[in-house]
């Protein structure tokens, strides 16, 4: 990567935080992710993070069983706050200054998200974790991550997954799945590649921010991808 590009948005799925558990937060997994982030922080990157809530509650799934989608999504947004506070605790245990900013006001636990304040925190070398998605139902955390990446002037939108990047089918089920090293925004939208929702892809395309999809399973892979040595798929 271009060494001049020093601000990143890291999107982590809630499911990733389960580790080998069936649900909830695996503390060992949170600690490993925090160690990866600390290494990148020590390399001089300004880091903004958005975490999903699917390890605790999935709004779309609940809506499919009869819960009103708005209510289900509100519960899901609260789940992202829990995950954000857990990651903040782990990062601060590693002496990484971290602030959680929530799109839903809950000042006793985290700051309200305000774009100008988020920028100030980043400039003061604090990791900023943006919780509660966009604060609105019917929008995914992928879309919230794209929005926060644009608002805070990030150079890359990095989506951490359990596989090395984008494939034409699930590589965990199909050993012959084809890996895509580079794709255009148009390719992803027209071929309906489900790496993230179309709203997030469209936001990235309209504002020309590259999306890097990579695996966070391998220790040290975040630093490798940023240095250009790690395997990832690039949407641009």
Question: Could you tell me if 78 and 102 are in contact, meaning their C-beta atoms sit under 8 angstroms apart?
Answer: no
Q: Choose between 57 and 202: higher pLDDT.
A: 202
Q: Choose between 192 and 209: higher pLDDT.
A: 209
Q: Tell me the CA distances in angstroms from 73 to 53, 103, 200, one per residue in order.
A: 10, 13, 17
Q: What's the CA gap between 7 and 14, in Å, rounded?
A: 22
Please provide the average confidence, as pLDDT, over all residues in the chain: 93
Q: pLDDT grade, residue 4 (50/70/90)?
A: low
Residue 180 pLDDT > 90, yes or no? Answer: yes
Residue 3 pLDDT > 50, yes or no? Answer: no
Give the number of C-alpha atoms closer than 13 A to the C-alpha of residue 220, restricted to the C-beta side.
3
Threshold 0.85, pTM exceeds: yes
Q: What is the dotted CATH code of the domain comprising 7-235?
A: 3.40.1160.10
Per-residue confidence (pLDDT) for residue 233, from 0 to 100? 95
Q: What's the CA gap between 2 and 196, in Å, rounded?
A: 25
Pairing of strands 111-112, 7-12: unpaired
Residue 63 pLDDT > 90, yes or no? Answer: no
């Amino acid at each position: 990567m271009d060494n001049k590009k020093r601000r990143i948005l890291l999107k982590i799925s809630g499911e990733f935080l389960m580790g080998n558990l069936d649900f909830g937060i695996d503390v060992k997994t949170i600690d490993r992710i925090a160690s990866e982030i600390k290494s990148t922080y020590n390399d001089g990157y300004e880091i903004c993070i958005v975490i999903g809530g699917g390890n605790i509650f999935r709004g779309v799934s609940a809506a499919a069983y009869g819960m009103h989608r708005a209510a289900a999504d509100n519960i899901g947004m609260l789940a992202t706050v829990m995950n954000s506070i857990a990651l903040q605790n782990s990062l601060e245990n590693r002496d990484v200054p971290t602030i959680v900013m929530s799109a839903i006001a809950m000042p006793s636990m985290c700051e309200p998200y305000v774009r100008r304040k988020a920028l100030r925190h980043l400039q003061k070398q604090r990791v900023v974790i943006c919780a509660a998605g966009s604060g609105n139902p019917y929008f995914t955390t992928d879309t919230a991550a794209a929005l926060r990446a644009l608002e805070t002037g990030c150079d890359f939108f990095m989506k951490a997954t359990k596989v090395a990047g984008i494939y034409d089918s699930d590589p965990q089920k199909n050993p012959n799945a084809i890996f895509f090293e580079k794709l255009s925004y148009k390719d992803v939208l027209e071929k309906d590649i489900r790496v993230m929702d179309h709203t997030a892809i469209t936001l990235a395309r309209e504002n020309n921010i590259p999306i890097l999809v990579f695996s966070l399973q391998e220790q040290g892979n975040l630093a490798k991808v940023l240095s250009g040595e790690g395997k990832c798929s690039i949407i641009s």
